[in-house]
Structures are given as structure tokens and as C-alpha cells.
Amino acid sequence: MTSNKKLSPTRALAAKVIYAGLSILRENGKELPIRDLMEKVRKQVDLDAWAKEQYEKTGYVRWESIFHFFSIDCVKAGYLIKKGGVWYLTPEGDDALKLGPEMLLENATRSYRKWRAENPVTQEDEEGPEEQVAELPSYDDIEQRAIEGLQRFINAKNPYEFQDLVAALLRGMGYHTPFVAPKGKDGGVDIMAYRDPLGTQSPRIQVQIKHKQSSTSVQEVRQLMGLLQKEGDVGMFVSTAGFSPDARTAARGSHIHVELIDLNRFINLWQEFYDKLKDEDKSLLPLRPIFFLSAGE
């Protein structure tokens, strides 16, 4: 399905890359970190020299800026959810793919304009031609750069330093950590976390950690499940390299509760509970929040 009106070069490019992005999300379990999604769009879409051109003032690549800018329309239309550097395709977005690139973008923009009418912003905000506005750095750009900085910092840590980070996060979430595996220990549980100092209250969490290696397999997740023998025991597997699709399926379908935490989710939890951490734990991965008005996001 296509629109009858001729699109400007900017909107034509937006329709192409937005449609490709939503399609790629559908093909990849309906969720991807934005960095991975952008890389797949770059490889899949035929981008001409104009689309790949960098803006002189900011250095941003045209198609990437346009992709981020028009993704706001998709969020307001209910096609996308963005959370912690990960983009999720909603059922509405999945259904909207039937419209084709141009009509999908047109419907998304209509929803965004309706939202703007109901939520007026200052005259200076997002004023001007779409091409000029898309050139400006978006919240997605800023967030992604921040997340990549945190990822680099965490990946530079050795396994025992990362283990201490996980223990600190659990303490910030209100748990006691009477056992953190010493150096040299190989296999089994890396951290025990209790709701009370003696572990008399459930849940009692047994944590296994895998840092900077290959993605965690279904066999490794099942091995952790096998350690959960007592009533009230739950498992938590933290893997900075992520989890295989089979591992995620096994965790979701099991009657034994095992929570899977990849690097992005760990960062989200660290940000969420940062204010509840003790100063000595904050120093392991210090953050500085910056607040700014982001109308339109």
C-alpha cells in the first residue's frame, strides 16, 4: 500500500529505513538493542551517497539521524517501545507493517501530530523543516552513547570485579550477600543473596555469573536450575555476553524461577537502584545523572 502524494527526499528515506527497522525487529524476536538494529538496517537497506552523507555541523550521518527522528512518530503511534537502549516492536507495529513503508510512516506521523496538538511545546522546540530538525542530536543518540560508555567500562573489568558489581546491585535492591565466591573458585554458585541476614525468608537467590565469554547456553541455564533444591530458592544468571534463544525459552517455560540478566538489563537495574547503593558500592560504577527537557520523545 502506498500514498498518492510524492514524498520529499527526507520522508522517502525515513519511510524506507523505518519500515526496514520494524521488519528487522519482527525477524529478531521483536526486540533488539538499538546498536544491533542500526547495524542490521545499514547492511540490509540500499543507502545512496546522500543518505550516508554526514551533516557538516554535527557529524551525524543523515540516514541515522532521520531514522532516530522519525522513530518518535512510531513511538507515539504505539508501534515501538524504547527502554534502556533496547527497541521493542509492539503488536500494533507488527500489524502496521502490512501498510507498506509510506502508509506506515504517514499513519505514524499523523499519530505524532495528534499527540503534539494535545501536548503543546514551546515555539522554539522542534521548529523548522524536518531535515534541519533531524540533524539535531536526539535523545536516542545521547542515551546510546551513554550506554556504550557503561558497556565499555563494565567489559574492561575482570570476572571478579564484575562479580562485585553484581553483589553491589543486589545490596542496593535490598538483599544481603553473605556469600560472594572467592578468587579461584570454579563452577557452582557465585553469589548467595537473602532477604534477611540469615536467609530465613524467601526468595533466596542463587546467582551464577558469566562475564565476557560466549553467550550463555541452555545447558548452562539448566545446570543452575539443578542447584535450586530448596523451597523458596530462585536463580539468577548474569551474562554480559547474553543468552542463546534456547536458554531464554527454557527460562521462560520452566516452573523453576531463573531470572536472566544480560548486560543491557544489568545497566538498567544499576541505573534504577543507583540511589539506593552505599557510597562504596556506587564507586564501583559511578554515574552522574543529567536531566533535560525532551519534548516529543
The average confidence (pLDDT) of the chain is: 87
Whether 148 maps to a domain, the answer reads no
Q: How far apart are the first and last CA of the chain?
A: 28
Same domain, yes or no: 157 and 254: yes
Q: pLDDT at residue 50 above 70? A: yes
Identify the band that residue 134 occupies on the pLDDT scale cut at 50, 70 and 90: low
Residues 62, 121, single domain; the answer is yes
Joined together, the cell numbers standing for residue 288 give 552522574
Query: Rounded to whole angstroms, how far apart are CA atoms 9 and 14?
Result: 9
In a domain, 2, yes or no: no
Percent of the chain exceeding pLDDT 90 equals 64
Domain that holds residue 200: 153-282
Mean pLDDT across 246-259? 93
Does 278 share its domain with 157? Answer: yes
Report the share of the chain in percent with pLDDT over 70.
87
Q: Which of 144, 149, 148, 155 is nearest to 239 (CA)?
A: 155
* Model confidence pLDDT, tens digit, residues 258-294: 999 999 899 999 999 999 999 999 999 999 877 665 5
Instruction: Check whether residue 97 and residue 183 sit in a common domain.
Output: no
- Judge whether residue 210 has pLDDT over 80: yes
Burial label, 183 (beta-carbon count in 10 A; 0-12, 13-18, 19+): exposed
Residues 80-103 have pLDDT tens digits of 998 878 899 999 999 999 999 999
Q: Do 170 and 252 have their domain in common?
A: yes
CA distances to 82, 89, 127 from 187, in Å: 36, 37, 57
The answer on pLDDT for 116 being more than 80 is yes
